[in-house]
Structure 1
C-alpha cells in the first residue's frame, strides 16, 4: 500500500514544473497496531478528522480533487472538516501525542487551521523541507485510535487536479 502511495507521489511530482522535490517527516507516537496510508491522486482539497469525545484522534480522510480517499483509522461520530480554497495547501501538521495521537492541527499556506483532539502529551511540528512543497499524504499506525502519524511532502503543480476541475 505504501509502495502504491509512493508511485502516486512520483506521478504528482513528475507533473510539477519545479521537478520532484520530496521530504518525509518520520512517524511520531507509539506506533502499535496496523499500518494505514491516506493518499490519492492530485492535490488535497479537503480534510476530515474524527476524534473521540474529549480525547484522541480516531481517523483521517483526505479529498483529492473531487474524490475522497479511504479512511485511515476509524470514523467516530461527526468529523471535523476543512475544505481548502483554490490554491490553498497544507504546509504544517502539528499536535500532541502520548500512546495515541491526542491532537492534530493542519495549517494551510493561507493561515487557516483545522484543530481536532485535546492538547495532552508531547508536542510535535511537521513541515516540508522545500519552501514550495505541501502535504501530499500521511501514513502511520492505528490500534483503536491513531498511534502514529508521518507526513509526506512534495512540490505539486498548482493546477494538477484542483477544485476548479482541471
Structure 2
C-alpha cells in the first residue's frame, strides 16, 4: 500500500511540474480614494455583474467564481447589468473610462467576442488585457467609497505546459 501511495505521489508531482503559470497585472486607473478591494475566489470566472447610475459612474461590481458570487464591491445602486459566460469562455479584456474620482464605464470582453457594457463613455480611456496568450481574468482589485468604484485594476493568469 505504501509503494502504491509513493508511486501516485511521484506521478502527481511530475504532472504538477509540467505546468507553468504566467501572471500579468494591469495597473490601476482612477483616483484611488476609499476602501481597497479584491475579488479573488476559487475557480474561473463564470459571470460578471455591474451596477451603474445612468449618465454617471459605476457603483458596484461582483464576479461569480465557480458557483458563488464574490462579495459586492461598492453599492447596489442604479441598474444591474450581467453577463454569464459559456463553458470554456473567459474574460479576455476590460476597457472603459475613468477620471480622478470614479470609474465611469467598464466594458468586459469575452474570449467569444461578447460584451458587457456598463456606464457612460466619458473622461479618459483605459484598456486592460493580459500579457500572455490565452490568459484570462482571475481577479479585480481597486478602491471604492460610499458612492461608487474609484479605481480599478485587473489580474490575469494562464497555465501552460512546460516542454
Aligned to 1:102: 104
**Does the 8 Å contact 2:49/2:80 carry over to 1?**
yes
Q: Give the Å deviation of 1:72.
A: 1.2
The alignment partner of 2:20 has SS state of coil
Partner of 1:32: 33
CA RMSD of aligned residues (A): 1.7
Q: For residues 70-89 of structure 1, what are the structure 2 equivalents within 5 Å? A: 70-89=71-90
> Would the aligned equivalents of 2:57 and 2:104 in 1 still touch at CA under 8 Å?
yes
Is the Cα–Cα contact under 8 Å of residues 27 and 153 in structure 2 kept in the other structure?
yes
Of 145-154 and 77-86, deviating more is 77-86
TM-score (structure 2 length as normaliser):
0.83
Bigger fraction of residues in strand: 2
| Aligned pairs, number | 143
Q: Which runs of 5+ in 1 are unaligned?
A: 1-14, 158-166
Match of 1:112 in 2: 114
Query: Alpha-carbon deviation of 1:77?
Result: 3.7
**How much has 1:58 moved relative to structure 2?**
0.7
Do structure 1's residue 141 and structure 2's residue 147 form an aligned pair?
A: no
Residue pair 2:54, 2:79 contacting (<8 A) in 1 also? no
Measured at CA, do residues 146 and 110 of structure 1 come closer, stay the same or move farther in structure 2, by a change above 3 Å?
Answer: same
User: Which residue does the alignment assign to 1:3?
Assistant: none
Check conservation: 1:16, 1:155, Cα contact below 8 A.
Answer: no
- TM-score, normalization by structure 1: 0.82
C-alpha distance 156-80 of structure 1, shift in aligned 2 (>3 A): farther
Whole-Å separation in 2 of the counterparts to 1:40 and 1:77: 25
Change (3 A) 1:154 1:126: same
CA spacing shift, 1:24–1:76, aligned 2, 3 Å: same
